[in-house]
Chains A and B, each alone.
Chain A
Amino acid sequence: MDMLLRRARALYTERQRIAIGAIMIAFAITTYVFYRTPLTEIPGEIPVNVPEGWVAGFEVVYSFNTAGFILAVSVMLFFYAFWTWAFLPTPATIYTMGVLRGIFGSGVKIQKRIGRRFRVVLDEENNRYVDITCRMREPGTDDWFVYTVRSGPVRTSNLEQIALRHGLHVSNRRLCATVNNDELHSRLVLLATALAKVR
């Protein structure tokens, strides 16, 4: 694995630890904030044959405090999920941009998008581009930084043959491939070659 990616991975695990620690602290604080007395009851009938202690317990759970608490926690979790989905650690971005510029030239326009996506615009008028999406880790494996590469829609009759001959597959009239970080460069070269052939 490239040095930059190693650093990105270390940074990512570190940040994740910090984020989880922060969420635990925030969780404790939210619990404190919402369950300080007085409880704001949600009015409703309480069954008669339930013992006193149970009723008191239910009153704690069945209150606006709980509603607020759940809301606060889900907002926290949402931001955490968004943060892990949206951004690639800087060293990994530098690595990916370096590889892309190495293949498509330093003058080419590369859009960075939210959700760890990159779009290399090859030809703006004819709507030709290459999308690269990075996943931090492949679920169920030890693979880090797996990229999904797909071209823009291509209209050629023998697209399937061209794709197979360049180690790609066709999905929805696009040339696609899932590549590991150590093959990113070489397989993007093949994709660029294939795109040059179908032009």
Chain B
Amino acid sequence: MCGQEHNNLDTRLVGLMNEDPRRAAYELIQLMSSLNDTKRAILLALAHIYPRSVSGVQLSRLIGYSGKSRSLYRGVLSHLEQDRMILIDQLTPKLYAIRINPEHPLLKVLIEMCRDFGSEATEVYLKALEGT
């Protein structure tokens, strides 16, 4: 059954990217390992809870960030947005909705994989969100 799941994902990814899925996986590993731990944690959390978006405070709880969420915005989040890995929508002057960029050529692979294999982790993340 697991093998079938893999095949399904493979065919979908080939359709999605028009290329070898191993290549996408390789580039995704390269990208994720090049980021520092805060950025990595943000992308993983956001990929798991996609298509939900979160506020800055929720995000900093989700990744166990101890600093102020404002310093998260000015630093890490703005860098991620610059590199078009996340999208930030300003709802009100103080409230932002942060979500992963589903158009990003590598992160859409990650989202796809999280959706297929990460349901347990998604539950964990969503439970953490409910607590806030």
Q: Which A residues form the contact surface with B (CB < 8 A)?
A: 138-143, 146, 161, 164-169, 176-180, 182-183, 186-187, 189-190, 193
Q: Label chain B's interface by main secondary structure.
A: helix
Assess whether B71 is interfacial by the CB under 8 Å rule: yes
In Å, the complex CA distance between A177 and B83 comes to 7
Cα A182 to Cα B105 in complex, Å, equals 25
Determine whether B74 belongs to the interface, using a CB cutoff of 8 Å to chain A: yes
Whole-angstrom distance between the Cβ of A132 and the nearest chain B Cβ:
15
- Per a CB cutoff under 8 Å, which of B31, B74, B85, B104 touches A138? B74
**Distance in Å: Cβ of B71 to nearest Cβ of chain A:** 4
A169 adjacent to B82 (CB under 8 Å): yes
List, in ascending order, chain A residues with CB within 8 A of B75's CB.
138, 140-143, 146, 180
17 A-B residue pairs with Cβ-Cβ distance under 8 Å, sorted by A, are A140-B70, A142-B71, A146-B75, A164-B83, A164-B106, A165-B106, A166-B30, A166-B31, A167-B34, A167-B83, A168-B83, A169-B82, A169-B83, A178-B82, A180-B75, A180-B76, A183-B34
B74 neighbours in A (Cβ, 8 Å): 138-141
Chain B 58-87, CB within 8 Å of chain A: the 1/0 string?
Answer: 000000000100111011101100111100
Quote the shortest CB–CB distance from B88 to chain A (angstroms). Answer: 15
What residues of chain B have their CB less than 8 Å away from a CB belonging to chain A? 27, 30-31, 33-36, 39, 67, 70-72, 74-76, 78-79, 82-85, 104-106
Residues B106 and A186 in contact, CB atoms below 8 Å apart: no
Docked-complex contact B36 and A183, CB < 8 angstroms: yes
Contact call A167/B85, Cβ cutoff below 8 A: yes
Pick the contact of A178: B35, B79, B105, B106 (CB < 8 A). Answer: B79
Query: B83 contacts A190, CB within 8 Å?
Result: no
Known: A141-B72, A183-B36. 5 other contacts (CB 8 A): A139-B74, A142-B71, A165-B106, A186-B35, A190-B30
B84 touches A164 (CB 8 A): yes
Contacts of A169 in B (CB 8 A): 82-84
**Which residues of chain A have C-beta atoms less than 8 A from B33's C-beta?**
186
Contacts of A141 in B (CB 8 A): 67, 71-72, 74-75
Instruction: Out of B36, B71, B104, name the residue touching A140 (CB < 8 Å).
Output: B71
Pairs A-B, 4 closest by C-beta atoms: A186-B34, A141-B75, A141-B71, A140-B74
Chain A residues whose CB sits within 8 angstroms of the CB of B76 once the complex forms: 143, 180
B106 contacts across to A, CB distance below 8 A: 164-165
Q: How far is the CB of B17 from chain A (nearest CB, A)?
A: 11
Nearest chain A CB to B80's CB is how many angstroms away?
A: 9
Q: In the bound complex, do residue A167 and residue B35 qualify as a contact, i.e. CB atoms below 8 Å apart?
A: yes
Q: What is the bound-complex CA distance between A113 and B30, given in angstroms? A: 31
Smallest CB gap from B33: residue in A: A186
Q: How far is the CA of A170 from the CA of B115 in the complex (A)?
A: 30
- Bound state CA distance, A142 and B34, in angstroms? 21
